[in-house]
Amino acid sequence: MARMASRALAPLSSIANAVLRTGDGAEVIARSLWQSQPLAILVLRRPGCVLCRDEAQRLWKLKPEFDRLGVGLVCVVHEWIPREVNAFASGFWPGPIYHDHEKAFYSALNEGKPLRGSIWGLFLPWSAVWQRIRAASRNVPDHNIVGDGFTMGGAMVVRRGGGPGSGNETVAWMHLESEIGKVADPEAVLAAAKEAAAAAAPDSSRPLSGPQ
């Protein structure tokens, strides 16, 4: 079960009307993605990052479990560099990817403003950041430093439907990458998805285990 934290769950209204873009430029209103099913969302820091690629492939390996639950699985990025997104999609995330150009999901994770990560851990080869990088590198030999790697990401789970007056007015669960590479455990995302699938009734208002 996900541990409790002082960070409040983001209001659903903070992301529901976000305009997301697909790779071919089509616009999608975010709330349409969870109108018919619960949704798990990987909020990615940077497609070429070794930590992000490892996080993505570990979560995607659980896709059959999400399918069995009837829970969708998508990824959002805050900048769209075609070569980087294409490489990420072909090697690590063959599912839907959306451009959150407004950074709505990134803002929602951090109480209204995207969290900017600290560079200092990268200067210390014995830091926790470098320990994570070395561990991820064993799984992801191909990576790069292209793009903005300091707009921090995370993960969310959203119940089906929801909105004002429904009793389902916050995201169901979320995790903020508070430090570079301090990503959500894929099993924790799956556990939250299981709860969201079970609590999909319109009158369900109880929060899940809480943010990490």
How far apart are the C-alpha atoms of 21 and 68, rounded to whole Å?
Answer: 27
pLDDT, tens only, 186-209: 999 999 999 999 987 444 444 555
- pLDDT tens digit string along 108-128? 999 999 999 988 777 778 789
Q: Residue 173 pairs with which residues in a beta bridge?
A: 157
Quote the pTM value. Answer: 0.89
C-alpha 7/C-alpha 16 separation (Å) is: 20
Rounded CA gap, 45 and 41, in Å? 13
Which of 96, 115, 94 lies closest to 175 in space, CA to CA? 115
Question: Which residues are part of the catalytic machinery?
Answer: 52
Q: What is the mean pLDDT of the chain?
A: 90
Q: How far apart are CA 2 and CA 31, in angstroms?
A: 25
Q: How far apart are the first and last CA of the chain?
A: 10
**How many degrees, rounded to 5, is the angle at CA 12 between CA 11 and CA 17?**
125
The whole-number pLDDT of residue 160 equals 94
Provide mean pLDDT across the span 177-185. Answer: 96
Q: What is the pLDDT of residues 48-82, one digit of tens each?
A: 999 999 999 999 999 999 999 999 999 999 999 99
Predicted confidence band of residue 44 (pLDDT cuts 50, 70, 90): very high
How big is the CA angle at 41 (ends 6 and 11), to the nearest 5 degrees? 45
Pick the closest to residue 49 from 123, 139, 157, 115 (CA basis): 139
pLDDT at 119: 82
DSSP bridge pairs for 43: 76, 154
pLDDT, average across residues 157-163: 86
Average pLDDT in the 146-173 region? 87
Query: In this predicted model, what pLDDT tens digit does every residue of 85-97 receive, in sequence order?
Result: 999 999 999 999 9
pLDDT at 90: 96
